[in-house]
């Protein structure tokens, strides 16, 4: 049985993760604490902390994980570069970080790299859309995808509308204007992110100390 702390438990992702664990993983995992990002509750012993909160909450989750020797899965976006460097250099506990925990988004990034290499004379444009309540714009996922193909983050276009879980689009325009190639990833339900997060957390809990990302998680799946 894997004991899990959910940090940012009142957020959309935190609530979905709790629901997924209770519905699908009763025999493999149990929640030992639900924490808000600014909680003063002492943490119980746990195998892994799942954090989807704010940068300040992610830092608190990291500090707690170090204190109780738990693994940390962090999916919080817009983290400070210095904090990200600390995560990547971690040697005492297993740490996983990704701006997006969807396997589909990971593969989408691979497709973008391949497409830009094949159509290197085409002009890229990147666009993303998310629900109206999403605070960061462009999204952390869009920034990460842009970094993969050396696309300037400040040129990402975006919209915040309705309840859209997340759509990312890359257009490749020929210079003569004859054609456009469009590659799209569209999330249809936020539950896919929560389900992936739980799978990764269970996988991470048994890993050696160090830093892990989506490449490490997917290498035995693909």
CA distance 55 to 211: 18
CA distance 80 to 97: 13
Residue tagged active-site, from 18, 37, 130, 185: 130
CA distance 34 to 5: 6
CA distance 192 to 60: 26
Residue tagged active-site, from 134, 143, 168, 185: 134
CA distance 26 to 44: 19
C-alpha dist (Å) from residue 101 to 68, 98, 181:
24, 6, 26
Determine whether 188 is exposed, middle or buried from the number of CB atoms within 10 Å of its CB (0-12, 13-18, 19+).
exposed
Alpha helices by DSSP H, listed for 81-209, are 81-88, 103-118, 140-148, 191-204
The reply to whether 130 belongs to the active site is yes
The reply to whether 134 belongs to the active site is yes
CA distance 22 to 59: 26
CA distance 107 to 91: 28
Which residues does the annotation mark as catalytic? 130, 134
């Amino acid at each position: 049985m894997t004991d899990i702390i959910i940090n940012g438990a009142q957020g959309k992702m935190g609530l979905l993760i709790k629901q997924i664990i209770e519905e699908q993983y009763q025999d493999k995992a149990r929640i030992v604490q639900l924490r808000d990002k600014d909680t003063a509750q002492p943490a119980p012993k746990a195998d892994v902390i799942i954090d989807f909160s704010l940068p300040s909450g992610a830092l608190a989750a990291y500090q707690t994980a170090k204190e109780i020797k738990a693994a940390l899965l962090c999916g919080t976006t817009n983290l400070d570069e210095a904090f990200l460097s600390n995560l990547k250099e971690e040697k005492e506990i297993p740490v996983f970080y990704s701006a997006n925990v969807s396997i589909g988004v990971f593969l989408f990034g691979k497709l973008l790299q391949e497409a830009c290499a094949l159509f290197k004379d085409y002009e890229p444009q990147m666009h993303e859309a998310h629900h109206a309540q999403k605070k960061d714009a462009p999204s952390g996922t869009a920034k990460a995808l842009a970094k993969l193909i050396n696309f300037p983050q400040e040129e990402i276009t975006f919209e915040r509308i309705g309840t859209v879980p997340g759509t990312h689009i890359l257009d490749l325009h020929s210079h003569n204007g004859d054609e456009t190639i469009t590659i799209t990833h569209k999330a249809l339900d936020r539950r896919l992110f929560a389900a992936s997060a739980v799978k990764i957390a269970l996988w991470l809990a048994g890993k050696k100390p160090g830093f892990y990302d989506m490449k490490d998680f997917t290498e035995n799946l693909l």
